[in-house]
Amino acid sequence: MKTVHDGSTTGDTMMSSAGITDAEDGQLPRGILPTWAVFGVSLGILAPASTLALAIGVVVTIAGNLSWITWAVTSVLVLGFAGGIGWLAKRFTTTGGTYGLAARAAGKPAGFFVMVTHLASSLVAGPACVIGSAIYLDAFLQKVGLPASTWTLGICAGAVAVAVTALNLREVKLSAKLLLVIEFFTVAVIVVLLIVVLANSDTGPIDSRQFDFHGFSATAILATAGFSVFSLAGFDHAATLGREARHPKRAISFAVVGSVLACGVLYIVATYIIVLGFRGLPIENMNAPLDTLAEHNGIGWLGYLIDIGVAISFFGSTLGVMAGTSRTVYTLARDGLLPARLGKVSARHGTPAGAVTTLGAIYLVAGLLGVVVTAAETSYGLLGTYAGYMLIAAYGLTALAAGYCAVRSRSLRLGIGLATVLAAIGSVLVYWYSFNPFPSGARGVVAWIFFATVLGYIALYCYLRLRKQLVFARIGESDRRTTLEVDADEQAGAVR
C-alpha cells in the first residue's frame, strides 16, 4: 500500500473520502459537500436580507442620498479581496480559511497576522448577528402584540445562540441547505417590496437627488466603509470547507467571488430604491427602513413577513459564521496554537464539536450583553464597525499574499494583479477615510480599541518569533496534510 507524505496511506485516504474514518481519526470528513452547498454557506453568511433590512439604513443615515456610491465602492473593494482569496483557493485547500491560505501563499508571518485579525473579526461578527436576529424577532413579536421589553430581546438573543450552536453540532450539509432556503425566502419578500416602491414612486424610477454630486464628499461616502465591508463580508468562510467540499478548488473559488458579485449588485440597486422611496419621509425611520416603506406604500402586512424573514436571515448568517469560525479554530487547535480540546471532532456528525461549543458560549454571553447593556441597534453597529476594521486587514493581507504568491510562482496574470491592486489601494483609502477625521463618541472608542488590538498583535508576533519559535513554526502546518489528501482524492476520482 503506497504511503502519502504525511504518513497516511492511499488506502486510508480512499476510506476517509467515503466519510468512514475521518471523524474517528479526529478529522473533518472529506468530499461531502457539492458546489451548491459551498455557495450556500458563502451566500448565507453574507445574509443579503439582513443587510437590506438593517445595514443599508445605517449607511444612508450617514452617507445620505449618495449611499449607493458607498456600496459601489465597497463592492469593488470586496471583489478585489474575493478575487485574491478565490485565486488562492484554486491552488490550496484548507480548513483554516484565509489563515491557511495566507500561510501557504506567503509564509508564517502572513498567516499569523491574517489569523489574528480574522479571528478577532469573527468572534465579534457572530454575536453581532445574534443581536441582529434578536432585534427583528423582537420587532415581529411586538407586531403580534407582545410589549417591547429588554427581557424579550435577551430571551430572543439567548434562543438564537443556543439554536445556532445545536445546528452547528450536526452535519454541515444540513446547515448549508438551511442557509440557501432562508436567503431565497427572505430576499424574495424584500424584492417584492422594492418592486412596489419603484412602481409607486411619484417621480418615476429616476431620482435626480442620487445623481447630484454638488458638494460631493469622499469622507462622507467612505465614513461607513468599515461597517459596509462587514455587511458584505463573511463569504470567505467557504474557504474553511477545504476538506468537506467535493471539488474544493473549483467550488470555493466560485462561491467566494460569485456571492460577493451577486450581493454587491443587489445592494447598489436596493439602496437606490430605498432612498427613492424615502423621499419626504423622516430619516430617523431608517432604523427600520423596510417596515417604514411597507407601511408608506399600503402593504404594511408585508412587514410581518419582512421582520420574521430578516430575523431568520440573521439567524442563517450567525449559523454560517459559526460554521466557518469553528473550522478555523479547529485548524488552529490542530496546529497546536490553541488548546487541543478545541480540535475535537464529533464521531457521530463529523463536526468540530469542541470549537462549536466554545463559540456557542461566547455568542450567548456577548449576545446577551449586547442587548442588555445598551440599545441593541447601537451594539450591532459598533460590533459591526470593529469587525469591519479587522476584516479589511485580514482580507487585504490575504489578497496581498495572493499577489506575492503569483509573482513568486511566475503565475501573475491580469486577474490576480488587478485583485491585488484593488485590495491594496482600497484598504488604504478605507482606513484613511475611516479615521480622518477621527470618529467621535462611541465609534471613536471602537477605533481606539482597534488600534490597541493591532499593537497587541504586533507585540504577540514579536514574542512568538523571539521566545516561542516552536509555537510559531506550527502556523499553517496541518493544512499541508489537507492539501495532500484532497489532491489524492481528486486524482483518484479522475482515474476512476
Three-state DSSP string of 103-165: HHHHCHHHHHHHHHHHHHHHHHHHHHHHHHHHHHHHHHHHHCCCCCCHHHHHHHHHHHHHHHH
Give burial (CB, 10 Å; 0-12/13-18/19+) of 223.
Answer: buried
What confidence category does residue 109 fall into, taking pLDDT thresholds of 50, 70 and 90?
very high
Quote the CA–CA distance of 379 and 134 in Å, as a whole number: 12
For residue 74 the three cell numbers come to: 465597497
Task: Say which range, 61-65, 184-188, 189-193, 427-431, has the weakest mean pLDDT.
Answer: 61-65
* 5 lies in some domain: no
Q: Which residue has the higher pLDDT, 18 or 97?
A: 97
Residue 2 within any structural domain of the chain: no
Residue 370 falls inside a structural domain: yes
**Mean per-residue pLDDT for 111-120?**
93
> Does any domain span residue 7?
no
As beta bridge partners, residue 245 has 33
Domain limits for position 154: 29-489
Residue 175 has a pLDDT of 62
- The answer on pLDDT for 39 being more than 70 is yes
Angle (deg, nearest 10), helices 302-334 and 150-168: 50
376-408 vs 98-106: helix crossing angle, rounded to 10: 30
Q: 3-state SS string over 382-401?
A: HHHHHHHHHHHHHHHHHHHH
pLDDT above 70 coverage of the chain, percent: 86
Indicate the number of domains in the chain.
Answer: 1
pLDDT at 9: 37
352 upstream amide cis, omega within 30 of 0: no
Per-residue pLDDT, 324: 85
What does the CA dihedral 363, 391, 226, 307 come to, rounded to 10 degrees? -40
Find the radius of gyration of the CA atoms of the chain: 22
Instruction: Answer whether residue 153 is part of any domain.
Output: yes
What CATH number is associated with residue 231? 1.20.1740.10
Compute the mean pLDDT over every residue in the chain, rounded to the nearest whole number. 83
Residue 32, C-alpha cell as written in the block = 461531502
What is the structure's pLDDT at 430?
82
> Which sign does the torsion angle of CA 347, 348, 351, 355 carry?
negative
Distance CA 156, CA 152 (A): 6
> Does residue 495 lie within any of the structural domains?
no
Contact 238, 38 (CB under 8 A): yes
10 Å Cβ neighbour count for 217? Answer: 13
Beta bridge partners of 9: 3
> What are 388-417's pLDDT values in tens digits?
899 889 999 999 999 999 999 999 999 999
Is 80 exceeded by the pLDDT of residue 215? no
Q: Does 387 map to a domain?
A: yes
33 beta partners? 245
On whether residue 24 sits in a domain, the answer given is no
- Position 480, amino acid: R
pLDDT in tens, 255-278: 999 999 999 999 999 999 999 988
Question: With 90 as the cut, is the pLDDT of residue 117 above it?
Answer: yes
pLDDT in tens, 434-447: 888 898 999 999 99
Residue with cell 497576522: 113
- Please state the pTM of the whole predicted model: 0.81
pLDDT of residue 14: 35
